[in-house]
Structures are given as structure tokens and as C-alpha cells.
Amino acid sequence: MPKHYTIALAGNPNAGKSTIFNALTGSHQHVGNWPGKTVEKKQGLAHIGGREVAIVDLPGAYSLTAYSVEETITRDFIVHEHPDAVVAVVDATNLERNLYMVLQMIELGAPLVLAVNMIDVARSQHFQIDLSELARRLGGIPLVATAARQGIGLAELQDAILHVSNRECPAPCPPLLTYPEPVEAAIADLVARIEADAGLAGRYPARWLAIKLLENEADMIDRLKATGHTALLEAARRHIARILAAHGEDPETLIVDQRYAFISQVFRATVVRPAEKTRTPSDRIDAVLTHRWLGLPVFLLLMWIVFQVVANVSAPMLNLVDSLVAGPLSRWVAALLGAVGMGGTWLESLLIDGVLAGVGGMLVFVPVLFFLYLAIALLEDSGYMARAAFVMDRFMHMLGLHGKSFLPLLVGFGCNVPAIYATRTLEHQDDRRLTAFMTTFMSCGARLPVYVIFGSAFFGAASGHLIFAMYMLGITIAILTGFLLKRTLFKNKPTPPFVMELPPYRLPTLQSVWLHIWERTSKFIRGVTTTLAAASVVVWLLLAIPIGQPLDRFNQVAPSDSLFGALCRGLAPAFAPAGFDRWEATGALVTGLAAKEVVVSTLSQIYVGASDSPVQAADEPAPTLLDDLGAIVRELGHAALMTGQELVNIVPRTLNLIPVLHVPELNLLPEHASIENDTALEAALRGAFTPLAAVAFNVFVLLYTPCMATVAAMRQEFGLRWTLFHAAYTLGVAWLAAVLVYQGGLLLGLG
Amino acid sequence: MTLFETTALRTLDQLLPGQTALIKQIGGRGSFRRRVAEFGLIEGAEIQMIQTAPMGDPIEYQIDGQMLTLRRAEARVIVIAIE
Ligand SMILES: Nc1nc2c(ncn2[C@@H]2O[C@H](COP(=O)(O)OP(=O)(O)OP(=O)(O)O)[C@@H](O)[C@H]2O)c(=O)[nH]1
């Protein structure tokens, strides 16, 4: 049985790692997260020379300096996991910068194979690259030229990978790169100290660690502090001070300069760049997309389209999923249970109203996320995402955010769940956390029905003011939250420099876009289903357990007589300062945790008693399986048609933003107006709330913990502690704001 | 060499679109210097200003054939000599 090899792919962002990864592994891949990090961990199996080889796609990084999450992961993997070979993927048209990280990997002693990718682009732009000289100057490392997108050079790459992996541990060669004398002397001293410490020497290559210490690298210093290596750190500090005093430069600068001097030498000896830098198509596209005057309108237009796609184009499929779960799926479960003699029992209710409702609550997000990831994949793979950040950074920076934070915040107006996942486009964990925190105050589509019903109940024609005020309040609170967190939690974190590459525009490939969508959506399903089903079961239980009633009425009590009702009655006084202390209002807020649109249906169930239970009315004959299947096919067709219609309608909707235009929208199948009990509910609400209390209630709905799906998304992305903090913070802010509104209103005599 | 003698020493944020300069010195925190160095911004490198973003900040530069962005405040700590 031959040894099982592990191969890692590393390199700068956009060098083509994922493309090589996909080509090597085909469809045998698995995407997870790096432990504790919101960075994708892609792993796959490949068959190379008749062996199974595990391939790990390390996140794109510019160096091994632990500057971003990606870089820490890449470095730790190479240092601690000892892959049998590391394929360094470099962009042939950008060798000078790409070689910096390669050099660091060589210094680290990684078993390297160099894949000089995009060789097709380099040739068409008339670069001349002397590959064998390049390999020789880099210490004779195996080197393969590839055009991964076209599948060129992959067979040779596989051979090289096998060759390096099969190799017995090579004799340690002299370091490729020596530093100026004072630095080398310091390195020698530190190496001796490191090698004297068995624990350290086993963990890190000694020379490499010595260089890191002289580079004064915070991450490494923290780690050694944690393991109590103060003497070594002290020695490094003295060396740094001495070199600085004697040469007027810190060793860090000397080291970086030396690396670049080496790289320029290698570069000049091996690459002839095209004499006249040709104006590439990419430059011409950029001339429009980041243009002084056009840049902003183009950006806003693209973001508007993304928003339309995520919020509206996904709607028909969302409705389809919703109705499938509530209709046929629930009926089939009921029928199945009926067949084994369990029909009508509490078990049926648990499965349908608890588990299935929870799973359905997860499934409805799948279409939304599908379209979000489609949009993100297109923006990222084409290269526009970096431009969007470039165009928007000035504004976002004023809010303490990064240019890339705009997209998640915008998506938040559609739905907070995809907004949280969209924070992944940001580079730094802190930016991600802060942005995710703020997105949940963006008033999502599910909160709108609450404002609408209260608005028309209390303010009639002026209800638009309430709605507008809610959106503005959400934005204001988000901004204030940003300032607050920046000054407290993230106080001592320096703003990372905005050095960002604007990669050349590329046409996204279907395969890569599809893989992005598939990987991320399936990860959502795996990560969130259990949480949502569990939450749904808990709510079901609360509603089922009778209080002050015989226990045999389990699952047969009115909400007010259930544990749920008792709990809400207990909680209700907490809302007295905000003007709504009735248990019904509290109950609506609690069920609103499942999903905010439920607030309205709960109020209407409690006040009007109109139940929209999915279970068939007894006198109607239940549809047969065949009926159901037919209906599903019909509905699927309908949803597909509507999706297409929504997609087409982006055009008139966009044109209609221009005040004088009135382009009609496509309307293939008029939606039948839903007959709802709104007027009855409105009357009941007017009886239960004063107008001021109604506003306070809406403020609370806007600001409190968005919904279980958001909580689950938060947990998946940022861990439990952060999620609990977020939940507590939003609850606190919501309560405070609602109380302020109500009490302030009373003071102003608006009661 | 003193300031304003043969070549004008300025900071990177003062470059005009299309203008090219040599990097003379990079200030700022160590982590900042190392970070920009990883993108090829080191002493002696040639850098060209391409354009500013629509709202005036950040700024796009070209160095070694790649397009990079820097915020104005960051460009201000980089001393250049205009050719
Ligand atoms: N012309 C050409 N395009 C390529 C080649 N390899 C990759 N690409 C394209 O370059 C783009 C970036 O490739 P990816 O594989 O996503 O790059 P990556 O290194 O994984 O990037 P990150 O995921 O950001 O780290 C994609 O649009 C690819 O289709 C190549 O050899 N030639």
C-alpha cells in the first residue's frame, strides 16, 4: 500500500489555484471552513500516477507574513502539516510580485513545485520567460509552465508533484538568499538559541523562525510569548535595536529589501517584459468602470441589479419552496404517519409543525443564497469586486468600514441571512464581524409587512412616513453601532492598509461560478439545518405544553393556555416602558424570532383568529399523490417562468428610476390578489395599541434579533460567543430605542 | 542632496495622473512598510499614478505592471522623487 500523499496549492489571489485544483480533483472535492476561521477550506482527492492524493487548496495570499487570516492559514499549514509537496502557483504576467511569496516558501523549506500559470496570457502579451534559468536561479526547483484554464501543462505538473513527493528528504542545501552581514550574524545567534530548544526546533525551521523574529512579526512574537520563550524574544529585540543603532535601518527593512533585490535580479535575468506596455482590453474596460464621473453611477447601477436579483428574482422560487413544504410535503408526511396509524397524533404535529417547518425555514433561503452567490461569483471572478471597493472606499471608510462592506450592507435590505454570508468578500476578520453586525440593522424585506400593517392601521395615507422612518432608523443605528464598536471592541486594532490589487478583468467560467454557488449553498444547508429545526421544535414544544390545564391536553391548547402564553405573560411587563405590555404583542415578538414576517401572522391569529393552517380542511378530499406531483410540476414551471419575468423586469425597473420614464413591466401571469383579513386585524390593532406604542413596537421589530436563520448564519460564520453577544446587543438596543421613542413621545405630549 | 535641489522630493499622494516617480523612502508603521513591500513598493521601485477614485480617494497606481490601490493618507507617508 503506497503512502497517502497530501499536496497543498498555494499562491497569490487570482493566480489560478482554484482552476488547477478543479482540474486535478474533478468533482471529488469537499469544502469546509478552516477551524475557527471564516475562510473556505477546499479539499479534494486526485489520482496521480495510480495513487490517491489529497489536495488542499490554500487560501490566496500575498506573502507568508500572517497579515490576513488567509496568510496565517497558509503559513501554518505549510509549517505544521508538512505536506508532501506544495505547488506554488504564480501568474506568469506578474512574476515579480508573485515570486516574493515563492521566495518565502523556499526560505521555509517547503517541498516546492513551481507552476508558472497563465503562460498563455504571458505569451500573447509577448513576455519572454526563460523558464530553465528561472528554475536554476531559484535553487533548481521543479518548474512547470501551465495554462490551467486550457488544461495545458497539467500532466507535467502531476509528474512533478509525484517526483517531489517521492523524493527522499533532500539534504539541506545552503540558503538561497543570504542577508547583509549584521543580519546574518543575528540570524546565526538566534538559530543557535532556537536549536538549543528541542521543543521549538521541532516545531519551526530554525533559520526561518530567526528571520521572522528579526522581521519583528507580531503574530510569531505573540505565539512565542504564549509559550514562554521570553529569553529568545529578548535576544531578538536586542539584535533589532543593535542593528538599527549601527546601520540606521531596522533588520525588517534590510530583509525585505534584500528579498526584493534578489527577486529583481532573478527577474531581470529571466524575463523580458514587452517593450511597450500595450493597452489591454482590461485597461479599456477600467477606463469606463472606474472613471471619474462614470465610476459611481456604474457602481450604483450594478449594485441595484445585484439587489434586484437577490431580492426579487429569487422570490418566485422562494414562494415555490415555501408552498411545497407547507403543501405536498406536509401532506405526504401526514399520509405516511396515517398509514402506520399515527395520524392526528402529537407526533404528526411535532414532525410537521416542528421539524418540517424548521427545515422549510432553512430551505426558503436556498433560492436567495443561490442568486446572491451567483452575483458574488460573477463580481469576484470578473474582477469587478475590487473596483467596487475602490470606488466606494472613501464613503465606507468614513463609517470605519472597508469599500467592500457596501455589498453586504446593501444585500441586508433584501435579507440579512445572505448579507452575513456576503461579508466573506472582506479580507479581515474584524471587518467581517463589524460589517455583519451592522447588516442586521438593515431593514430586510420580511420586516416590511409589519410596518405596512401598522402604518395603514394607525396612519392611513401617511403610512409611508412610518416605513421611511424605520429604514432610516435602521441605517442610523447601524452607523452608530459601527462607531461604538470601533471605539470599544476594536479599539486597539490599527486600520489595515488599503493596499489592494485591481486584478485584470477576466471572463468568469461557467464551471468556476457554478462551483462557487454549489460549495457555498451546500455549506449553508449543512451548517444551518439543525439549528433551525431545533429552534422550530422548541417553539412547537412551548406551544404544545399546557399550563393550568390537565397535561393530557398536550398539543391541544390555545396559545394563551400554553407554556408559550405563560412565558409571554411573564415577559410582557418588561415592555411596559415601551407602551406595549400585552402578552399578545410579546408573543408576536417571540414567534418573530422564527422569522419576522411571522409577527403579522401571529398577531392576526391571536387577534382575529384567522388560522392559515396548511393542514387540509376535513371536508375537502385530500389530493392524491398524482394530483400533488402534477401540481408540483405546474408550480415549478410557473416559478421558472416568473423567475425569468423578474429577470427581464430588472430592465424596466431600472429605466423607471429615471423620473420621466414609465416603461411597463412584463406581466405574464398576473398574481391573484391575496384575500387577507387585513381590515379586521387593523381594527384589532387600533384597539390594542396607542399610535405611539405602535411606533415603539415597530422600532423594536426593526432592531431586535432578526430571526433564527440570521442567528444560525452568525453562528456558522463567527462562532457562538460572538452570536450570543450580537443577540444580546440587538435585544438591548431594540428595547432601549423602543422605550426612548415611547417615553420621549409621552414627554412631547404625543401619547 | 538637499530637498528641492536637482530632483523634486515629494510624497506619493502628490503625483498627477500619468506621472511616474521613483520611491525614495517609505514611512509609517513597520507592518505597513512590510505590507506595501510585499506588493513591490520598495525603495528604488518605479511607480506610476493612474487615477483617483471617483470620490477622490483611494488612488490607483501601477507598479511592475500591476494595478494597486492606496488610500491618500497612506500614500502621504511614501516619499518619491519625480523623474
Ligand atoms: N487565460 C488563463 N486564465 C486562467 C488560467 N488559470 C486561471 N485562469 C483564470 O483566472 C481567474 C482566476 O483563477 P482562479 O483559479 O479563481 O484563481 P485563484 O488563484 O484560485 O484565486 P483565489 O481564489 O482568489 O485565490 C479565473 O477566471 C480563471 O478562469 C490560465 O492559465 N490562463
Q: Where in chain A is the domain with CATH 3.40.50.300?
A: 5-166
Q: Chain centroid to CA A157: how far? A: 32
Higher pLDDT, A694 or A560: A694
Question: Model's pTM, two decimal places?
Answer: 0.80
Q: What is the pLDDT of residue A677?
A: 52
User: Of A20-34, A358-372, A417-431, A523-537, where does mean pLDDT reach its minimum?
Assistant: A20-34
A381 CA: nearest ligand 1 atom: 27
Per residue in A281-295, is it b (16+ CB within 10 Å) or e — as a string?
Answer: eeeebbeebbeeeeb
Q: Is A258 exposed, middle or buried (0-12, 13-18, 19+ CB in 10 A)?
A: middle
Q: Which residues of A touch B30 (CB under 8 A)?
A: 216, 250, 252
Taking the CA of residue A271 and the nearest CA in chain B, the distance in Å comes to 12
Q: How far apart, in whole angstroms, are the C-alpha atoms of residue A649 and residue A647?
A: 5
* Count of domains for chain B: 1
Q: Which of A18, A90, A97, A157 to mutate to test the pocket of ligand 1 (most atoms within 8 A of CB)?
A: A18
pLDDT (average), residues A644-653: 86
Of A216, A218, A260, the CB nearest to B37: A260
Distance in Å, CA A299 to ligand 1 centroid: 24
Contact A498 B42 (CB under 8 A): no
Pairing mode, strands A5-11 and A85-91: parallel
Q: Which of A12, A14, A102 to mutate to test the pocket of ligand 1 (most atoms within 8 A of CB)?
A: A14
Q: What is the pLDDT of residue B53?
A: 92
Contact A501 B39 (CB under 8 A): yes
Tell me the residue length of chain A: 751
**Three-state DSSP state, A592:** coil
Q: Which residues of A touch B70 (CB under 8 A)?
A: 497-499
Q: What is the pLDDT of residue A152?
A: 93
Share of chain A above pLDDT 70, in %: 92
Higher pLDDT, A277 or A290: A290
- Digit-by-digit pLDDT tens for chain B (83 residues) are 444 445 677 899 999 999 999 998 888 777 788 788 888 888 788 899 999 999 998 999 998 778 899 999 999 999 999 87
Q: Which residues of B touch A96 (CB under 8 A)?
A: 40, 64-65
Q: Where is mean pLDDT largest: A280-289, A331-340, A384-393?
A: A384-393
A181-272: what CATH class? mainly alpha
Contact A256 B37 (CB under 8 A): yes
pLDDT (average), residues A459-466: 80
Q: CATH number of the domain at B18, please.
A: 2.30.30.90
Query: Which residue from A24, A616, A718 is spatially nearest to A343, judged by alpha carbons?
Result: A616
Closest-approach residue (CA) in chain B for A251: B30
pLDDT tens column, B69-81: 999 999 999 999 9
Q: Chain centroid to CA A546: how far? A: 41
Q: How far apart, in whole angstroms, are the C-alpha atoms of residue A715 and residue A727?
A: 11
ipTM of the complex: 0.91
pLDDT tens column, A203-255: 888 899 999 999 888 888 888 998 888 899 999 999 999 998 888 888 888 88
Check if A436 has its Cβ closer than 6 Å to any atom of ligand 1.
no
pLDDT (average), residues A496-516: 85
Of A101, A494, A500, the CB nearest to B68: A500
Q: Are A410 and A337 in contact (CB under 8 A)?
A: no
**Residue A242: strand pairing partners:** none
Higher pLDDT, A468 or A727: A727
Q: Are A30 and A67 in contact (CB under 8 A)?
A: no
Contact B34 A250 (CB under 8 A): no
Tell me the residue length of chain B: 83
Q: Where in chain A is the domain with CATH 1.10.287.1770?
A: 181-272
Task: List the domain range (segments joined by +) for residue B62.
Answer: 3-82
CATH code given to domain A5-166: 3.40.50.300
Distance in Å, CA A119 to ligand 1 centroid: 12
Residue A50 has pLDDT above 50, yes or no: yes
Q: How far apart, in whole angstroms, are the C-alpha atoms of residue A654 and residue A657?
A: 5
Q: In what order do the strands lie in the sheet with B78-82?
A: A500-501, B66-70, B59-63, B46-52, B20-26, B78-82, B9-11
Share of chain A above pLDDT 90, in %: 24
Residue A638 has pLDDT above 60, yes or no: yes
Residue A256's identity, in one-letter code, is V
Mean pLDDT, chain A, whole residue set: 84
Residue A133 has pLDDT above 90, yes or no: yes
